Amino acid sequence: MPIIQNSVAQQSSSSSSSSYGDFKDISKTIWKNTVTMRENNEFAVFDFLTALDQGDGSYFHPVPSKNPRTGNSFTQQVYCNEKNISLDGRVVEADCDPCHDGVSADKRTTYPRMRYTYWVLHYGTYHLDSNADLQAQKPWTQDWKQVTLGKQTFFRESVLKPQLLVLSQRTWDSVQAIDTRKGTILSTSEVPSHFEFRRSFASNAGSRGMVSYDILASDISVPDLSEEASKIVADLPKLDQIAAGSITELDLPQFGSPSVVKEQKDTADAFERMANIKEDGEF
- Alpha-carbon distance of 122 to 164, in angstroms, equals 9
Answer yes or no whether residue 96 interacts with Zn ion by CB under 5 A.
Answer: yes
CB of 165 to Zn ion, least distance (A): 23
User: Can you say whether the dihedral through the CA atoms of 233, 234, 237, 239 is positive or negative?
Assistant: positive
CB 146, CB 130: distance < 8 Å? yes
Distance CA 258, CA 151 (A): 35
Q: Which one of residues 5, 82, 193, 199 is an interface residue with Zn ion (CB under 5 A)?
A: 82
Name the DSSP class of 249.
B
- H/E run at residue 200: strand 195-202
Taking the least distance from each CB to Zn ion, the nearer of 92 and 120 is 92
CA distances 34 to 62, 72, 110, 166, 258, Å, are: 18, 20, 23, 7, 23
Kindly state the smallest distance separating residue 96's Cβ from Zn ion, in Å: 3
Q: Rule CB under 5 A: is residue 99 a binding residue for Zn ion?
A: yes
Q: Does 196 bind Zn ion (CB under 5 A)?
A: no
> Least distance to Zn ion from the beta carbon of 77, Å?
12
Q: Which stretch binds Zn ion (CB under 5 A): 79-87, 115-123, 182-190, 252-260?
A: 79-87
Binding mask 160-189 for Zn ion (x = CB under 5 A): ------------------------------
Q: Give the interface size with Zn ion as a residue count (CB under 5 A).
A: 4
**Binding stretches for Zn ion (CB under 5 A):** 80, 82, 96, 99
